[in-house]
Structure formats: C-alpha cells, structure tokens
C-alpha cells in the first residue's frame, strides 16, 4: 500500500508514500481510503493529518497509470476526496514542497490546510490538454477568488505557497508553518479537533462584483492566446460554472468538460509529448545508475555562430568555459556576440546586470591548446570539413587530460570517423546543437560505435543541466532530424515542379501549425547550405531524384535573407517574405523545360506529402535503431523543427491519422508520375505496423 498510517496521540497521520512525488496511483488512493477508515473507526483518534513522504505532498496523477484502467479504478480521486469531506473527524492536509494537480485537489477536499513556505502549488492539467478533473475548478475559486484561481488554472504555472498564503481574503491555507511542518500540523490538529461544524470548501461562496464581464474578457484573451488548444477556454468555462452554479452542478460541468477534452487529438498530443519527453532519457543499455564523469569545466573550439551559442548554455548553468580560436579577431568577435546577446536580455529585463557579469566572468579565451588541459569536456564547433575536424581532434587527443570527453557539434560528418582520429574513441561523442544554440531546446546526442556508456550518461546529464531536451541518435548522415528534413525538402521541391508556388506550400504548412514553411525556413537558414550538401549528396547517389528548383534559385545568387532575396524578395531591414516575380518566372521556365503542365494542388495534399515524407524516413530511422523509439523522433521535431505541438510530432500525428491511411495516401502519391514511386515505398516498419493495425506508439 502506498500510504503509511500511524497514530500520534489523538491524531492519525496518513502519509502518502509513492516515490518520486507521491503520484495518486491506485495503491496510494487505496492507502488513503483505508487509513481514513481506520482513523474513523478508532475512538482514540480525534483528527486526521494527511501528508506526503519524501520530496512532495503530491505531484498529482501517477503518470505511470496514464491511459490504463487503473487510473480510473475505484477508489478514484473523486471518491477519496468525497470521503475526506464526509469525515466526521477533522481532516488536515499538511503540505510541503509540491502540491500539484490531483495533489492540490486532494488537499482542497480536506477540512483544513497547513503549508510550509516555498511549496509549489499548481493545477497544471492544462499543460496536458485537460482541465483539473477532481473539483479543482470548483474549489480553487472558492478559496482564492475567481481571478487568482483562473490565472492559476489557465496558466498551469506553480505559485509559491507563501505568496498564496499572503493573498488578501484567501482561504486556501489556514496556517503557514515555518519550521517543523509535522509538529505544526499536529498542534493545529489538536486546536481544531473539537471544533464543529467542520468547514467544507464546497460551502464557500464564489463572489465576483462583475462576473459576466470578467468571464467575457477572460474568454477573449484566453481564446486569442490558445489558438490550437481547446483546454484553456474550457478552464474559463469550468471556473465560470463555479461562479454561476451550485457546487454539485459545477462539478458536473467540470466532469463533462474534462471527459470531452480527454478524447481530443490535442490532449492526446500533449500527453504524448509529456511522456515522450521523459522517455528520451531512458537508454536501454545505459541504466540510470550508470556512473558519470565529473564535468566542472568546459572548452569550446570555434567562436562562430554555434561555438558562441553553445558556450552561453554553460555560462548560464554556472560552468566555466574556455573558448579557443585560431585568431584573436575571431575570438573578439565571438565574445562580442555573446555580450550582445546577454545585453539584449538585460535590456528586456530578462537578465539581471549582476548575473550577466557573473556569467561573463566564467568565460575565458585562448589561442593556445595548452590552456585546455584542465577542461573535463571539450566541444568542437569549427568549420564543417573533415580535414579541419581531423586536425582539431588529433590535437585534442594530444592535449586533453585522460578521461576528458571530446565532443563534436558536426551536423553532417561521420562521428565514428572523427573518433577514429583519436586514440580514445570511447571518449568521443556527438553533441548536435541547433541554431541559435543558446535558445533551441533540442540537443541530439550522437552515440558513436565506440562511445563509452559513462560518456553517454554524462553528456545526457549535462544536457539536462543546461535545460536541453536530449535525444540519443546513432551515427548516420544527418542524424535523426536532418536526415528526415532532407526527404521533406525533396518533397517540397517536387511540389514546386508540379505547380505550387513557395508561398502556397508555406501557407499550407503554416496553417497545419508549423512555425515556418520550408521555403521561408530556407531563406532564413540560407539556401546555399542545402546547395552545397546537394552537390555532394547527389554525386554520391546519382539515382536519387530531386527537383532542380533550389539549385536554379542559388544559381541566381538568391541565398535567402542574407542576400536580400531567396524564395521571396525582402526589403532591407525587414523580414517580411514578399512573393517574387523572379522566382515565379524561374519556376515557369523550369516547368516548361520539363514539359510539365502545372496543376492545382490542395493544401491537404501539400501537408500530407510533406508530413508523410518525414514519417516514412522516421520509420526507417527507428527500424535501423538510429532512434531508440518513435517518440524520440517526435521530440526532435517538436523541440528542433517547429512541428506543431498540438499534433504531437510526425509519428504521433501518423498514429492519429491511422497508419493504414498513411500507407494508402503514400500509394496514391506513388502513382503520381511527377512524384517518385521509390520515395513513397513504405518503410518496412511502417508497412508492418499498418498491416497489423498497429501504431508507432
Ligand atoms: N550553423 C548552424 O546552424 C549549425 C547547426 C548545427 C551544427 N552546426 C555545426 O557546427 C559547426 C560550426 O558551425 P558554425 O555555423 O558555428 O560555423 P562558423 O563558421 O560560424 O564558425 C566556425 C568557427 O570555427 C573557427 N575555426 C575554424 N577552424 C578552426 C580551428 N582549426 N581551430 C579553431 N577554430 C577554428 C572559425 O574561425 C569560426 O569562427 C559545424 O560543424 C556545423 O556543421 C552548425
């Protein structure tokens, strides 16, 4: 049973005990219900304290039960809360550290609540596409007032207990206990043991001087901010019900809204992203207790676009970095860019001036490899040429201390080959950051053939420390993300060949929810990068079909925003993408030369050809073991490529569409003579799952 029971004098103490955060799984709920029964049956017990063992009161639902029948099995959370309310002896929640979601709802079902300062209090259900479903939307407004409660419920963000306890008129906490919480709770229990009637949150009135106008305002603002997600507006409706209806009727509204949201694709996508994020850290042959190397100081080679951004991550986390370049002016430029970035944050009020200085004080620079000898890890971010990488890694092998981790930020080169330049390939790993490296959440951690397990574990831990979403990738061309995006770009090219304009493709994809369509993205990143890669790639694989449109664009010198023209025209100093007659002409001539009569292509076809091209390559990546699981691919796309969160990532989206339907669409695309039948051959894993009626999930 996941709750302890003991009697201390006249008080029964029920202590939730389900590490790590006392999730309210079935055994824990049963433990509370049984503890309550025992306490009520014991004539010596006059009051009941409910508290949490370890590092939380309760973090809410047990995510291990997500989607399983156990999550709803009796006693469910609503029944437990009703039993606490109905108790003839006073129940007191003693809250420390964390009371979130169901944990807070449980506390709200008690007659009294005492709390330690510093506890994080939240109803975060909105973050997984839901509203609180065990009375949170009806009870929180009764103790905090409509506006404070709605802010917490719509944002899902935690608020510190001492702030809530100090809010005027609040009835959430009866006492803020500095010092020993249990001693304070027992004393409080003794004080209230004989007080009758027992106070119930449900009996409190919800008052607002101008409720209708306030909720209309809330609908407008929340609706505008939560475009693709239904849950935030439902939070408003549920809280509005608390103000308008009797408690039990409000509870019914909450229940209906909760169950309605549960089956939406958006909720499914958000829950998927939530569990997928946690799954990324699990590496089957590298258990969580794998010893890690101590990383106290880092070195970064190259102070360019990536080197500077990478460095900032570690300075932000309080780790010293020494940056090495070939020439002083390159170092100076690198440091100036870092300063500029921090100064912009200071100006916006996002960073305190003294913090900025502390971070800069952690940065040192050098032109001399000897200065790297005491670094525990080095990350190389020099030019993307094997010859340059070879020289750098041979030198690092000579100067770095034994056991230091040698990482490369290469985006396209073979990490095993790079490891082979050293006599310590077990210490070499890929750390593929995304640009801007100080902003983007994604870090692909590239596990080489010989990378030692403790090196992988160390880098995953370090990635967490710098707040990245780390996804393990095996070695292959482009790793997970770029290998997939190549197929997406090829397909985008075929769409132009057939009659689409860049703007039409971008708009369709952006309507689907992508942050940016492929052509606007190309203009931002620089079309010349893909051009260089294609020259190499299609020399190696001459049989691979691709559209020549992007090459023709580059031959016109239209590299994108940096040259003031790309797929679109740009006005100097502005980033607005303006459809270009030069590009339209170029595309028309290209089609005429190929004898193509352009056809009108629907938004639906555009989106599905692009997204399913990701899915098919993703399936190959899982099958080959490059990605550990399909959900890792979703995390790569959600955190590194602007894939719409409400779709859950390409693999999750494919599951939602149904893999049978995905394969059927691919067959239709393959039959199009302007497309590429080879391209649309379903990956074996995809074909198998579709035939079995199975999913990637
Ligand atoms: N730019 C991106 O979006 C991006 C994204 C992911 C990975 N990468 C990879 O990161 C690496 C760096 O890319 P970047 O965009 O920062 O390039 P960059 O040209 O902006 O910077 C490279 C820096 O390395 C320095 N350098 C070159 N050779 C060196 C040497 N032998 N010793 C020390 N310094 C040297 C250069 O002076 C330059 O400042 C490449 O491998 C690239 O493929 C880039």
CA-nearest residue, atom 25 of ligand 1 = 302
CA of 307 to the centre of ligand 1 (A): 7
Q: For residue 413, how far is its CA from the centre of ligand 1 (angstroms)?
A: 13
Q: Are 476 and 624 a contacting pair, CB within 8 Å?
A: yes
Residues flanking ligand 1, CB < 6 Å: 301-307, 324-326, 330, 381-384, 388, 391-392, 409-411, 432-435
Q: How many angstroms is it from 99 CA to the middle of ligand 1?
A: 45
**pLDDT tens across 116-161, in order?**
999 999 999 999 999 999 999 999 999 999 999 999 999 999 999 9
Q: Closest Cα to atom 29, ligand 1: which residue?
A: 382
Q: How far apart are CA 472 and CA 284, in angstroms?
A: 11
Extract the tokens encoding 12. 């029964």
pLDDT at 122: 98
Q: Please tell me the distance between residue 383's alpha carbon and the centre of ligand 1 in angstroms.
A: 4
pLDDT tens-digit readout, 7-23: 999 999 999 999 999 99
Considering just the CA atoms, what is the radius of gyration of the chain in Å? 29
Whether residue 392 contacts residue 398, with contact meaning beta carbons closer than 8 Å, is answered with no
DSSP summary character for residue 600:
-
What's the confidence (pLDDT) of residue 126? Answer: 97
Cα 220 to ligand 1 centroid, rounded to whole Å: 46
Q: Is the dihedral of CA 530, 536, 542, 548 positive or negative?
A: positive
Which pLDDT score, from 0 to 100, does residue 14 have?
A: 98
Structure tokens at 61: 């639902």
pLDDT at 1 over 80: no
pLDDT of residue 280: 98
Higher pLDDT, 130 or 673: 130
Q: How confident is the model at residue 514 (pLDDT cuts 50, 70, 90)?
A: very high
What region, left, alpha or beta, does residue 95 occupy, with left being phi > 0 and alpha being psi -120 to 50 degrees?
Answer: beta
- 487 closest CA partner among 421, 552, 537, 441: 537
Instruction: For residues 511 and 495, give the distance between their C-alpha atoms in angstroms, rounded to a whole number.
Output: 17
DSSP 210-251: THHHHHHHHHHHHHHH-TT-SHHHHHHHHHHHHHHS-HHHHH
Alpha carbon 689 to its chain centroid, in Å, reads 26
Q: How confident is the model at residue 436 (pLDDT cuts 50, 70, 90)?
A: very high
- pLDDT, mean of residues 362-366: 98
If we measure between CA atoms, which residue out of 174, 183, 124 comes closest to residue 154? 124
Q: Is 539 helix (H, G, I), strand (E, B) or coil?
A: helix
Whether the per-residue pLDDT at 536 is higher than 90: the answer is no
pLDDT band at 518 (very low <50, low <70, confident <90, very high): very high
Mean pLDDT of 290-309: 97
- Distance from Cα 385 to the centre of ligand 1, integer Å: 9
pLDDT band, residue 545 (cuts 50/70/90): confident
* Location of structure tokens 């599951």: 655
At residue 478, the pLDDT reads 93
**Exposed, middle or buried by CB within 10 Å (0-12, 13-18, 19+), for 200?**
middle
Catalytic residue among 6, 74, 85, 105: 105
Residue % of the chain over a pLDDT of 90: 93
pLDDT at position 689, please? 97
- C-alpha to C-alpha distance for 76 and 60, rounded to whole angstroms: 13
Q: Residue 342 and residue 590: Cα distance in Å, rounded?
A: 46
Grade residue 574 by pLDDT with cuts at 50, 70 and 90.
confident
Distance CA 389, CA 404 (A): 17
Could you identify the atom of ligand 1 that is nearest to the CA of residue 307?
Answer: 16
Beta-sheet strands, E only, within 290-392: 298-301, 321-324, 363-366, 377-380
Number of the ligand 1 atom closest to the C-alpha atom of 388: 31
Catalytic residue among 6, 85, 125, 162: 125
The token pair at 381 is 């971010």
In this predicted model, what pLDDT tens digit does every residue of 375-429 receive, in sequence order?
A: 999 999 999 999 999 999 999 999 999 999 999 999 989 999 999 999 999 999 9
Q: Is 105 a catalytic residue?
A: yes
Whether 207 shows a pLDDT value over 90: the answer reads: no
Residue 529 has pLDDT above 90, yes or no: no
CA nearest neighbour of 147 among 83, 55, 217, 200 = 217
pLDDT for res 537: 77
Q: Give the nearest ligand 1 atom to 382 CA.
A: 24
pLDDT of 69: 86
What CA–CA distance (Å, rounded) separates 351 from 41?
A: 56
Phi, psi of 627 (to 5 degrees): -105, 145
| Alpha-carbon 554 to chain mean position | 35
Nearest to 531 by CA among 505, 506, 509, 557: 557
In this structure, which residue's CA is closest to atom 26 in ligand 1? 382
Residues near 513 by beta carbon (within 8 Å), at least 6 away in sequence: 228, 643, 644, 645, 646, 647
CA 306 / ligand 1 centre spacing (Å): 6
Angle between helices 265-279 and 650-657 in degrees, nearest 10 = 140
Q: What is the rounded average pLDDT for all residues in the chain? A: 96
Highest mean pLDDT among 66-70, 321-325, 574-578: 321-325
508, 527 contact by CB (below 8 A): no
Mutate to test the pocket of ligand 1, among 307, 378, 479, 640 (most ligand atoms within 8 A of CB): 307
DSSP string, 413-470: S-HHHHHTTSS-GGGEEEEEE-SSTTT--EEEEE--SS--HHHHHHHHHHHHHTT-EE
- How many residues can be counted in the chain? 697
Average pLDDT over residues 646-671: 97
Closest atom of ligand 1 to 525 CA is 3
Three-state SS at 320 = coil
pLDDT mean over 584-595: 96
Catalytic residue at 125? yes
Give the pLDDT of residue 530. Answer: 86
- Cα-based torsion angle of the residue sequence 404, 410, 414, 417 in order, rounded to the nearest 10 degrees: -40
What order do you get walking across the sheet with 98-100 strand by strand? Answer: 98-100, 120-122, 159-160
Q: Over the stretch 337-361, which tens digit does the pLDDT of each residue have?
A: 999 999 999 999 999 999 999 999 9
| CA–CA gap between residue 678 and residue 688 (Å, rounded) | 18
Atom of ligand 1 nearest to the CA of 308: 16
- Find the 304 Cα to ligand 1 centroid distance in Å: 5
Centre of ligand 1 from the C-alpha of residue 308, in Å: 10
Task: For residues 218-226, give the mean pLDDT.
Answer: 95
- 454: buried, middle or exposed (CB in 10 Å: 19+, 13-18, 0-12)? middle
Instruction: Give, to the nearest 10 degrees, the angle between helix 136-144 and helix 247-262.
Output: 130
Residue nearest (by alpha carbon) to ligand 1 atom 28: 382
Cα–Cα distance list, 552 to 319, 485, 520, 585 (Å): 46, 20, 17, 11
Q: How many Å apart are CA 184 and CA 177, to the nearest integer?
A: 6
Mean pLDDT, rounded, for 442-455: 98
Q: Candidates 299, 304, 337: which one to mutate for ligand 1, based on the most atoms within 8 Å of Cβ?
A: 304
pLDDT of 285: 96
Q: Residue 248 corresponds to which tokens in the numbers above?
A: 């039990």
pLDDT at 527: 93
User: What's the pLDDT band for 636 if we cut at 50, 70, 90?
Assistant: very high
Structure tokens at 277: 């994020």
Helix (H, G, I), strand (E, B) or coil at 3: strand
Ligand 1, atom 3, residue with closest C-alpha = 435
User: What's the rounded mean pLDDT across residues 212-218?
Assistant: 96
Ligand 1, residue 324: give the atom nearest the CA.
Answer: 33
Residue labelled with tokens 């985008």: 492
- Closest ligand 1 atom to residue 303 Cα is 39
Q: Are 87 and 175 in contact (CB under 8 A)?
A: no
Ligand 1, atom 33: nearest CA belongs to which residue? 325
Cβ contacts of residue 541 below 8 Å, gap of 6+?
none
3-state secondary structure of 644: coil
Average pLDDT over residues 629-651: 97
Per-residue pLDDT reduced to its tens digit, 22-32: 999 999 999 99
């Amino acid at each position: 049973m996941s709750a302890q029971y003991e009697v201390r004098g006249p008080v029964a103490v029920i202590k939730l005990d389900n590490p790590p955060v006392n999730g309210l799984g079935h055994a824990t709920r049963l433990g509370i219900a049984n503890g309550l029964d025992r306490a009520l049956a014991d004539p010596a017990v006059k009051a009941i304290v409910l508290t949490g063992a370890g590092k939380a009161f309760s973090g809410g639902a047990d995510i291990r039960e997500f989607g399983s029948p156990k999550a709803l099995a009796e006693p469910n959370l609503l029944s437990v809360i009703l039993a606490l309310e109905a108790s003839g002896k006073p129940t007191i929640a003693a809250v420390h550290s964390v009371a979130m979601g169901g944990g807070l709802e449980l506390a709200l079902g008690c007659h009294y609540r005492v709390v330690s300062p510093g506890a994080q209090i939240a109803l975060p259900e909105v973050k997984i596409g839901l509203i609180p479903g065990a009375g949170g939307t009806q009870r929180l407004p009764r103790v905090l007032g409509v506006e404070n409660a709605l802010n917490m419920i719509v944002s899902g963000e935690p608020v510190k207990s001492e702030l809530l306890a100090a809010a005027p008129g609040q009835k959430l906490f009866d006492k803020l206990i500095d010092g020993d919480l249990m001693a304070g709770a027992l004393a409080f229990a003794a004080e209230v043991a004989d007080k009758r009637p027992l106070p119930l949150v449900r009996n409190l009135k919800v008052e607002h001087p101008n409720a209708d106008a306030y909720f209309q305002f809330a609908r407008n603002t929340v609706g505008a901010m939560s475009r693709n997600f239904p849950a935030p507006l439902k939070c408003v409706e549920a809280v509005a019900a608390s103000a308008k209806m009797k408690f039990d009727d409000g509870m019914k509204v909450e229940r209906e809204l909760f169950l309605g949201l549960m089956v939406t694709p958006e909720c499914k996508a958000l829950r998927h992203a939530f569990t997928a994020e946690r799954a990324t850290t699990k590496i089957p042959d590298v258990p969580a207790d794998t010893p890690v190397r101590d990383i106290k100081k880092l070195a970064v080679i190259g102070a360019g676009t990536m080197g500077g951004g990478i460095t900032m991550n570690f300075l932000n986390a309080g780790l010293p970095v020494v940056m090495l370049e070939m020439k002083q002016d390159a170092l100076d430029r690198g440091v100036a860019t870092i300063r500029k970035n921090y100064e912009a944050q200071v100006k916006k009020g996002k960073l305190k001036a003294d913090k900025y200085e502390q971070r800069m004080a952690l940065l040192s620079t050098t032109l001399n490899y000897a200065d790297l000898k005491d670094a525990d890890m080095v990350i190389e971010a020099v030019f993307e040429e094997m010859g340059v990488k070879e020289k750098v890694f041979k030198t690092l092998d000579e100067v770095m201390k034994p056991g230091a981790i040698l990482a490369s930020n290469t985006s396209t080169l073979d990490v095993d080959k790079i490891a082979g330049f050293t006599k310590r390939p077990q210490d070499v790993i890929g750390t593929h950051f995304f640009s801007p490296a100080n902003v983007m959440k994604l870090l692909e951690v590239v596990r080489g053939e010989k990378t030692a397990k403790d090196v992988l574990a160390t880098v995953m831990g370090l990635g967490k420390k710098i707040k990245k979403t780390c996804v393990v990738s095996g070695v292959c061309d482009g790793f997970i993300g770029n290998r997939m995006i190549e197929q997406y770009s090829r397909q985008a090219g075929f769409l132009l060949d057939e009659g689409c304009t860049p703007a039409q493709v971008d708009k369709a994809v952006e309507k689907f929810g992508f942050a940016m369509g492929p052509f606007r993205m190309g203009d931002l990143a620089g079309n010349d990068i893909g051009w260089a890669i294609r020259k190499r790639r299609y020399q190696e694989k001459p049989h691979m079909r691709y559209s020549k449109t992007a090459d023709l664009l580059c031959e016109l010198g239209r590299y994108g925003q940096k040259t003031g023209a790309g797929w679109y025209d740009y006005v100097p100093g502005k980033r607005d993408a303006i459809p270009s007659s030069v590009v339209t002409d170029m595309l028309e001539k290209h089609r005429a030369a190929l004898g193509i009569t352009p056809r009108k292509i629907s938004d639906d076809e555009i989106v599905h050809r692009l997204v399913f091209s990701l899915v098919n390559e993703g399936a190959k990546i899982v099958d080959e073991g490059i990605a550990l699981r399909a959900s890792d691919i979703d995390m790569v796309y959600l955190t590194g490529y602007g894939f719409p969160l409400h779709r859950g990532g390409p693999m999750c989206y494919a599951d939602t569409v149904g893999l049978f339907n995905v394969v059927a669409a691919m067959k239709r695309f393959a039959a199009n003579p302007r497309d590429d039948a080879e391209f649309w051959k379903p990956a074996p894993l995809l074909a198998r799952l579709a035939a079995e009626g199975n999913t990637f999930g």
